[in-house]
Copies of this chain bind each other. A is one copy, B any other.
């Protein structure tokens, strides 16, 4: 009961420190919601809702700012599958997505389950930033 005290924010804290972001109450709470569980795909609106449900007072604007800061810091990856809504993925490793067109849900496809072969050259003077494979499913 001495050194092994429960430290609920340690992971979040470390992540923020590593990213050079001040660990404010809001950022810590959002980081905890995002990273303490499994891999997640959240929209800003969703995360804001979760924060409020958890009695974390945070404005939607701050949620947007925070999601973008986390993305810029490489802690999140932004996924676009649907005009008019951004999803943020806590899994930043190489992987792709199933998109359920009816429900709007996203699901990871592990990177090694899809191989893109015969990639074209990047056009003159450009470099490839990322290759997104989106498998759109129905039913």
B-contacting residues of A (Cβ < 8 Å)? 78, 80-86, 98, 100-101, 107, 109, 112-120, 122-123, 125-139
Contacts and interface: CB of A to CB of B under 8 A. Distances in A.
A116 B113 contact: no
A98 to B, nearest CB: 6
- Classify the secondary structure of A's interface with B: strand
A88 B118 CA distance: 26
Contact of A137 (B126, B136, B139): B126
Given A80-B80, A122-B137, A131-B134, 14 more contacts: A83-B85, A83-B86, A98-B122, A114-B120, A115-B116, A116-B116, A116-B133, A122-B135, A125-B139, A126-B139, A128-B135, A129-B137, A131-B133, A134-B134
B119 A117 contact: no
A69 B137 CA distance: 21
Contact of A135 (B83, B120, B137): B120
How many copies of this kind of chain does the complex include?
2
A34 to B, nearest CB: 19
B114 A114 contact: no
List 6 A-B pairs, minimum CB-CB distance, nearest first. A126-B139, A126-B137, A83-B86, A113-B120, A115-B118, A129-B136
B132 A134 contact: yes
Nearest to A43: B83
Given A116-B133, A129-B101, A132-B133, A107 B83 contact: no
